[in-house]
Amino acid sequence: MAVISYREALRAAMREELKRDDKVVIMGEEVAQFNGAYKVTEGLLKEFGPKRIVDTPISEAGFIGLGIGASMLGIRPVMELMFWSFSYVAFDQIVNNAGNIRYMSGGLINCPIVIRGPANGGTNVGATHSHTPEAILASHPGIKVVCPATPYDAKGLMKAAIRDNDPVYVMENTILYNDKGEVPDEDYIVPLGVADVKRVGTDLTIVAHGRAVITSLKAAEILEKEHGVSVEVVDLRSIRPLDEETILASVRKTHRALLVEENKPFCGVDAQVAYLIQSKAFDELDAPIHRVSSIDAPQIYCKRMEDLQMPNVERVVAEALKVLA
């Protein structure tokens, strides 16, 4: 089994699907000639040529809408947003068109598109480039959203997303691009709607997605070594569809839940998870559900403060101890 980076895993997924299905097209700003703003698509133009790997002008509403229109006729575009923060420029296309066309036509049409790109803060780039819109997007029926945290999940989810016949939006993370992990060489997918218990424990359940999973795993180490607490970490992997059963099974085991997300608190993903847990596992709870989100403000520029604004290891450990009190 190879040990590759998250970036390489994404690239491998796209390459394999480009080979497998000639309707797959990679499209976005700087994806071809520049080899990708974050080098995710590096080498693909050389291998597949300009018909399959397409550079677009800076025109999100235009090219995302174009991709959606093409998908109605069977093309399977994988469109890159340089940052998911730029999705708001194309919000009408992403939400109103991709999300609704099947429904408004009474099921006559489907849009098998993938939109992918980094959705994260923590990179000192300020408020307009640091969004994590998974909650906003997932709140629209018609749309699917996934958030891989490891190279294995990145490749598996990307392949599943490309093969999926509905719009799937993949939230990547620039900070995770360099993380390395074991990835099988053979063809595999990670199905949508299946969470993963990344760490088994008995005293506390931490539910997280994206980079917050990595943070939570680090916090779990500290909680075990310094506080003698056994923490279970559930990685959602898929926001919509959502694996409710894995979350509930974990809470039934540990009776205490801490939710960790990079979203801002109001109606972030964890708001939905908290509702789920109290609604379906009320009698299992030995403490109220706690949450660590990003501090509720536009993303601050000052790097030291941004690190505090994010759900960092210290805040997760402190909140975990409160839940265990």
Partner 1 sequence: MAEIIDMPKLSDTMSVGTLVKWNIKEGQVVAFGDILAEVETDKATMELSCTVPGTILKIYAPAGQQLPVGAPICAIGKKGEAAPEPTAAPAPKAPKTAVPAIPEKAEVSCVPAAPASSGSLSPQSDASRTKASPYAKRMAEKAALNVAALAGTGPGGRVVGRDVAAAASAPAAAAPSGPLNVSVAPPADGKGIQPDADVPVGGMRQTIARRLLESKITVPHFYLEVEVDAAPLMAMRESLNKRLAETGADAIKLSVNDFILKASAEALRRVPAVNASWAGTSIRTHGAVHLSFGVALEDGLVTPVIRDAHAKTLKDIAIEAKALIGKARSKKLTPAEMSGSTFTVTNLGMFGVTGFYGIINVPNAAILSVGATIKKPVVDAQDRLVIGHRMVIGLSGDHRVVDGANAAQFLQALKQLLEEPALMLI
Partner 2 sequence: MAKPAVLTHPESLKSPAGPSEYAKDPVNASLSKAEKIALYTKMARIRHFEQRCIRIYQQGKIGGFLHLYVGQEAVAAGTISLLGKHDHIITGYRDHGHGLMVGMGMNECMAELTGRVTGCSQGKGGSMHYFAPDKNYWGGHGIVGGQAPLGTGLAYAVKYMGLKGSCFVYMGDGAVNQGAVHEAYNLASLWDLPVIFVVENNGYSMGTSQERSTAHPGCLAKRAEGYNMAWDVINGHDVYEVRAKTAIALKRAHEESKPTVLEIFTYRYFGHSMADPDKTYRDKEEIKEYRDKKDPVLAFEQELLREKVLTPELSLQINEAAMAEADKAAIFADESPDPTVADITKHIYWEEDNRGPKTTSRGTIIFE
Closest CA to 260 of 303, 217, 199, 202: 217
C-beta closer to partner 2: residue 161 or 316: 161
CB 170 within 8 A of CB 146: yes
Helix H, strand E, coil C: the string for 181-217 is EEECCCCCCCCCCCCEEEECCCCEEEEECCHHHHHHH
CB 11 within 8 A of CB 158: no
C-beta closer to partner 2: residue 220 or 281: 281
Edge-to-edge order in the sheet of strand 257-260: 196-199, 231-235, 204-208, 257-260, 290-292
Which position has the token pair 């009408």? 92
What DSSP string runs through 121-171? --SS--GGG---THHHHHTSTT-EEE---SHHHHHHHHHHHHH-SS-EEEE
C-beta closer to partner 1: residue 286 or 296: 286
321 binds, among partner 1, partner 2, none (CB under 5 to 8 A by kind): none
Q: Contact positions toward partner 2, by CB under 8 A?
A: 25, 51, 56-57, 59, 61-75, 92-93, 96-97, 101-110, 112, 141-142, 144, 160, 163-166, 189, 191-195, 238, 240-245, 272
Told to judge if 290 belongs to the known catalytic residues of this protein, a careful annotator would answer no
C-beta closer to partner 2: residue 10 or 27: 27
146 binds, among partner 1, partner 2, none (CB under 5 to 8 A by kind): none
104 binds, among partner 2, partner 1, none (CB under 5 to 8 A by kind): partner 2
CA separation for the pair 222, 208 (Å, rounded): 17
CB 182 to partner 2: min, Å: 22
CB 115 to partner 2: min, Å: 14
C-beta closer to partner 2: residue 23 or 255: 23
285 binds, among partner 1, partner 2, none (CB under 5 to 8 A by kind): partner 1
Q: Which member of 30, 129, 140, 224 is catalytic?
A: 129
Told to judge if 60 belongs to the known catalytic residues of this protein, a careful annotator would answer yes
Closest CA to 141 of 87, 91, 99, 194: 99
240 binds, among partner 1, partner 2, none (CB under 5 to 8 A by kind): partner 2
Q: Contact positions toward partner 1, by CB under 8 A?
A: 255, 282-287, 325
CB 102 to partner 2: min, Å: 6
Which position has the token pair 């994404």? 10
Angle (CA) 178 183 187, round 5°: 130
Catalytic residues: 60, 129
